[in-house]
Amino acid sequence: MFNRSLAAAVAAVALIVPVRGASAAPGAAGNDDATRLRVFLTDGTSLVSYGEPARVGDRIIFSIPTATTPNPPLHLVDLPAARVDWDHTNRYAASARASHYVETQAETDYLALSNDIVEALNDVAQAAEPAQRLAIVERARKTLAEWPASHYNYRQAEVRQMVSMLDDAISDLRANTAPGRFDLSLSAFLDPPTIPEPLLPPPTLKESIEQLLTAARIVDAPAERESLLVTAMAAIDRDKDALPADWAESTRADTEAAIQTEVRLDRAYHSLTARTMTVAYRRARLIDVRGLERLLRGIPQRDAALGARRPDAVNSLIEAVQAKLDLARQVQLARDRWALRAPAYRRYRVAIRTPLDLFSGLKPSLENIKALSGSSPATLTATERAVARIVTLASAVTPPDELAAAHALLISAVQMAGTAAQIRREATLAGDMARAWDASSAAAGALMLGAKARGDIQSIMRPPQIR
């Protein structure tokens, strides 16, 4: 049997909650459009955000509607996060979400909650044990107590009334379940701190165009600014009959002038970049460090003459010229080092000239071995003798440290040439075609290594330069 307080709670809840199956309030079935939020700027103005804005690093990205139709065309806006009044924006977003929830989903959710509570109280009537009834009522009470905080405090007064009734019932049930031992531990309602923020009406057609123009003034990307201006002018042309005639005419003229200014600035900065980089490439090839420094110092002056309207383009240009200057300084350092090492390079060039010339003389015989086109005994003997002489001469040369690797590669190429001649002799005596192909591979390797060694030596011994 129910006790009196539980019976009273059942009766009270039955009066408060909607009847199962009742239709939701008219607002619950209506608008399912995205929530129209506002991004408030530090200067006090605001821009409509169709749906939630996204904060990505130090940027904020959101979609601004360009018309007042139910599903308007949108334009993506990308602003520095530092331009945004985040406290105001967040307060407004909380109010807008709550309002959107109340208009679209709140009554449906409240009906579902109410039906769940009615079912729970009906289950109490079916329960035979007092402890079982107590558990059911406590679960229902917990569900009710937690519901407002996660549903924008919708119907909070009614929910509190139901919770109060259930608290009385729980107290009696606990007393009856454990006579003489009574522990009341019910959590109280705490209103979440809120900062009310009045919602602004949706922008009119004129205001939606003004929003595009406001966004165009504060974005920092020229391409995006032009796109917003073009979109605003297209909106004026599209809806001119619904706009104040004088305002539409003057605003369109101002917008068109702003677009032409942006186009002219784009051309001017593109020309500045092209001219500057042409000079930078030429001076870098000449290793003209002083000239590059002067060029770099002149960029801010030329930017100022254009109104300092393209900071990103100028920063990129400065970085590009600075890279050329860094490269020129690096190459100049390498040239200075080369100049200090030039006497050692000249001595090595004289010492290695004969071995290189002798190795060049081996190329015809190595090409014949590689092509398997025939190698006479005299040619093979001459090749082997030349290889021995080159190894003796080259081994007697002590290269500068920078040329040690290339010098060793040259000796390896010469030794491989001797191996190719030896294998070719063995293949000829044995009539072994497989060994002849081995000799061909050795000859090809000798030619390849020799060419690389010669190229490396010549490269190191040339003054460093920028190509």
Write the pLDDT tens digit of every residue in 54-74.
Answer: 999 999 999 999 988 888 999
Which SS3 state, helix, strand or coil, does residue 84 take? Answer: strand
Name the average pLDDT for the chain: 87
Cα-based torsion angle of the residue sequence 205, 208, 212, 213 in order, rounded to the nearest 10 degrees: 70
> Which one has a higher pLDDT value, 467 or 150?
150
Position 394 scores a pLDDT of 94
Cα separation, 460 vs 337, in Å, equals 12
User: Distance (Å, rounded) from C-alpha 351 to C-alpha 92?
Assistant: 84
Q: Could you give the CA distance from residue 368 to residue 323 in angstroms, rounded to a whole number?
A: 49
Contact 114, 18 (CB under 8 A): yes
Q: Is the model's pLDDT at 467 over the cut of 80?
A: no
Per-residue pLDDT averaged across 347-359, rounded?
A: 95
Helices 311-361 and 363-371, interaxial angle, to 10°?
Answer: 90
End-to-end CA separation in angstroms for the chain? 99
- On the question of pLDDT at 403 being above 80, the answer is yes
Q: What is the pLDDT of residue 191?
A: 55
With a threshold of 0.75, does the pTM exceed it? no
- Alpha carbon separation from 21 to 13, 28, 114 (Å, rounded): 16, 14, 11
334, 459 in Cβ contact below 8 A? Answer: no
Two tokens at 397? 């040369």
* Percent of all residues in the chain with a pLDDT value above 70, rounded to a whole number: 88
pLDDT higher than threshold 70 for residue 6:
no
Please give the DSSP secondary-structure letter assigned to residue 287.
Answer: T
Please say if the pLDDT value at position 325 is more than 80.
yes
pLDDT at 9: 58
Checking 128-134 for CB contacts under 8 A at 24+ apart, the result is 130/173, 130/176, 130/177, 131/177, 133/6, 133/173, 134/170, 134/173, 134/174, 134/177
List, for residues 365-391, the tens digit of each pLDDT value.
Answer: 999 999 999 999 999 999 999 999 999
Residue 20 has pLDDT above 60, yes or no: no
Confidence class of residue 395 from pLDDT cuts 50, 70 and 90? Answer: very high
Among the ranges given (42-51, 107-116, 121-130, 182-191), the one the predictor scored with the smallest mean pLDDT: 182-191
Question: Distance between CA 254 and CA 268 in Å, rounded?
Answer: 21
- Burial (CB < 10 A; 0-12, 13-18, 19+), residue 68, is middle
pLDDT category at 424 given cuts 50, 70, 90 is: very high
Question: Residue 27's pLDDT band (boundaries 50, 70, 90)?
Answer: very low
For residue range 212-243, list pLDDT tens digits in order: 999 999 998 999 999 999 999 999 999 999 99
The lowest-confidence range among 106-120, 172-186, 278-292 is 172-186
With bands split at pLDDT 50, 70 and 90, how would you rate the model's confidence at 98?
Answer: confident
> What's the average model confidence in pLDDT over 343-353?
95
pLDDT of the residue at 154: 86
The model's confidence at residue 161, banded by pLDDT at 50, 70 and 90, is confident
Tokens of 276: 């500057």
The pLDDT assigned to 190 comes to 52
